[in-house]
């Protein structure tokens, strides 16, 4: 079906507020990834979901960051008590299964600005 979608496309929030970012993966894709892209920098891995396995949370930068995924569907990335350094584009990607994890399909991203 359609590609990976993310919402909102842009989010401006005040420092200290919580935000929730949403990712709809490609239907049938079992693996889902969240990355962070800061201005002028490469992609920073945050978290990885594969089917019903325990997620790989090793990239989350602090305990203010968390993510959930129900089955093989939508995922939400939550940032609590946002800080200015959280300002970035948050990218979601999905792939068919573990063995094809390298063929990742990316969404357009959510641009988060913390003021």
Write out the residues near another protein by the rule CB under 8 A. Answer: 4, 31, 33, 35, 40-43, 45, 48, 50, 56, 59, 91, 93, 98, 101-109
Contact 78, 14 (CB under 8 A): no
Closer of 20 and 56 to another protein (Cβ)? 56
CB of 48 to another protein, least distance (A): 5
CB of 31 to another protein, least distance (A): 8
């Amino acid at each position: 079906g359609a590609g990976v979608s993310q919402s909102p496309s842009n989010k401006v929030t005040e420092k200290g507020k919580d935000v929730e970012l949403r990712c709809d993966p490609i239907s049938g894709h079992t693996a889902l990834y969240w990355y962070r892209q800061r201005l002028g920098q490469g992609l920073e891995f945050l978290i990885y979901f594969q089917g019903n396995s325990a997620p790989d949370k090793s990239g989350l930068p602090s305990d203010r960051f968390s993510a959930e995924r129900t089955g093989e569907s939508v995922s939400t990335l939550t940032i609590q008590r946002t800080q200015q350094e959280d300002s970035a584009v948050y990218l979601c990607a999905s792939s068919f299964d573990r063995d094809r994890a390298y063929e990742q399909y990316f969404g357009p991203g959510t641009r988060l600005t913390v003021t």
